[in-house]
Structure 1
């Protein structure tokens, strides 16, 4: 976890990039995580490894997109990410490519694919595992969200633009945009409304691109630990308690952790996805039926352990990848 927090978090070596705001370090090498020349994490299949811009002449691929859960926070090596476990377990033999971007919202996830899909071979299917970041960022004031959603580290961006003051552009972005913790915060219902609308808007763009590519598209709502089970295993509870002592997840997103919020958000997203013809799968429902009380699934409230990544990859193959139908 030190590699993720020291090198891939907002205080690490992330790159500020046009269009996407930020992305992972380029050509990063370690025993835990490795990236290509554009910052995409490698996935493995046997003794081969693949990334979005380093495909080694591969003729086709499957793709899993999303934010940090897809990127693989919590995996002790590239071989333990969802993309790698999907590659190993998929009987069709076609590798999966990791299109996860740490701390991305659904707009950034969609933009990332639009900018790099020309580097890919034939894409047989796209699975989007997402949903939480849009809901969490919807808590910020409207003036920070603007038209296309707030993004993580937005205060750093606005502060940098305010410091420049070299043009009308930098002045406009820098003035009056910093988010205050308690200023004009939307209600929980307003947060859900905004997150659902933004997610579905971007999902429609995904569908247009996948239709043009003749690739099967599926949306999977990612789980939170409290959505899967009210009390985690002993290891999880110890980690959650430690995290809360340092200004934790529950303190920041308390009402989002409730089962009522999960059910409302899930039902709204499912209805919207079905309305635009995109198969929808709720990963939480599948995990609830498969996770024993002593199974160590989460390394924090949203990211998986190695065995968690492996279990989720098997569930994804059972519920979406093989049949191409909503669960």
Structure 2
């Protein structure tokens, strides 16, 4: 008998997100590794021919980067799955849609985010698909959690541009390919050279414990990619970096609904319990230190910076149910984040 999940009772929209993110149907792409499933249709989340999520304007107009793009200047909201809108009950309730339809409607907002992206993938997505858009007046990057999580992976997975989600699978498959080629070399009489590569999948013991190193690494990979954003966007485009609100970065208490969802997530998540995996970086102190490093780097580059964690914390109470899991928001959370972001960045 199938187990009834509280996740689907309290947040039924998550069924569509689980289908959208089904690993068996993951949309793999050259260069990016993976992106949203193209032409995905559901009551909750819908994408265009290239996998960009649809956003909604004040008059119900639908737009997306590889679909209908309104004439004139546009603005884009980018980042990882939080910017994508995971947890929203419909395309209308994502951050991009709420900015366009309610809190900063003077120009259209397009959803340019990707699920499980690191800072390099966020910038690369924009680089590869910049040709789809004309004049971009504003870019808001709402991100940070993925960079911090990935910075905890072992040094050998970091490379030049930081680790990425599912990189263990990538290294594992590349090792299988190398082994096939070694076998081929042996058959043709050449001596195969032994591999010095480590195992493909990192274990819990591999994860870095030095929080200072983790924060420095996450900040460095993020700030270096801002240089790419500026060069590709051009000098006329205003760029803002927003450190996304995350449950443990903004408050230590949770609502009863959040506690149920968090506890269930820990029970069914194959990779382990949240506190064991990320508890040391999921604190308000770490968030403040990370934000301070990002703020200094953004100021040097002329990029506006906003740590939205204390702003959202100030705008809510411990009784407000905001999260469907520790990183993604329900509709109430999306609405508060969109409103406070628009106010703090003075978006019109």
Flag whether TM exceeds 0.5 (same fold).
yes
Q: Structure 1 residues 62, 288: closer, same or farther in 2, change over 3 A?
A: same
8 Å CA contact 1:66–1:130 kept in 2: the answer is: yes
Q: Does 1:22 align with 2:47?
A: no
**Offset, 1:210:** 2.8
1:58 corresponds to: 71
CA contact (8 A) 1:141 1:186 kept: no
| 1:71-121 per-position Cα deviation (integer Å, ceiling 9, x unaligned) | 111011111111111111145432110011000000000000011111013
Question: How many Å apart are 1:123 and its aligned residue?
Answer: 0.9
Unaligned runs of 5+ in 1: none
Are residues 227 and 186 of structure 1, via their aligned partners in 2, closer, same or farther at CA, if it must alter by over 3 Å?
closer
Under a length normalisation based on structure 2, what TM-score does the superposition of the two structures give? 0.86
Contact 2:242–2:306 (CA<8 Å) still a contact in 1?
Answer: yes
With over 3 angstroms needed to count, the CA separation of the structure-2 counterparts of 1:216 and 1:182, relative to structure 1, is same
For residues 1-327 of structure 1, the aligned pairs below 5 Å read: 1-9=14-22, 11-45=23-57, 46-165=59-178, 175-176=197-198, 178=200, 179-183=202-206, 185-212=208-235, 214-246=236-268, 247-322=272-347
- The CA RMSD over aligned residues, in Å, is 2.1
Which moved further from structure 2: 92-101 or 17-26?
Answer: 92-101
Q: 1:322, CA displacement in angstroms?
A: 2.3
Over residues 155-194 of structure 1, what are the superposed CA-to-partner deviations in whole Å (9 max), with x where a residue is unaligned? 11122222223559xx999942522321373511111111
How many angstroms does 1:211 deviate by? Answer: 3.0
Q: Which has the larger radius of gyration?
A: 2
Q: How far, CA to CA, are the matches of 1:91 and 1:176 in structure 2?
A: 49
| Alpha-carbon distance in structure 1 between the residues aligned to 2:119 and 2:325 | 21
Aligned residues of 2:20 and 2:40 also touching (Cα < 8 A): no
| CA deviations over 1:204-235 (Å, ceiling 9, x no partner) | 211222334x1110000012101211102221
Cα distance, 1:284 vs structure 2: 0.5
CA contact under 8 A between 1:6 and 1:12: conserved in structure 2? no
Specify whether residues 174 and 219 from structure 1 end up closer, same or farther in structure 2 by C-alpha distance, changes over 3 A only: farther
Query: Which runs of at least 4 in structure 1 moved beyond 6 Å after TM superposition?
Result: 171-174
**Helix, strand or coil for the counterpart of 2:345?**
helix
The alpha-carbon deviation at position 312 of structure 1 amounts to 1.0
Q: Distance between the aligned counterparts of 2:199 and 2:125, measured in 1?
A: 25
Runs of 5+ unmatched residues, structure 2: 1-13, 183-192
Q: Tell me the TM-score normalized by structure 1.
A: 0.92
Aligned pair in 2 of structure 1 residues 91, 228: CA closer, same or farther (>3 Å)? closer
Offset, 1:4: 1.5
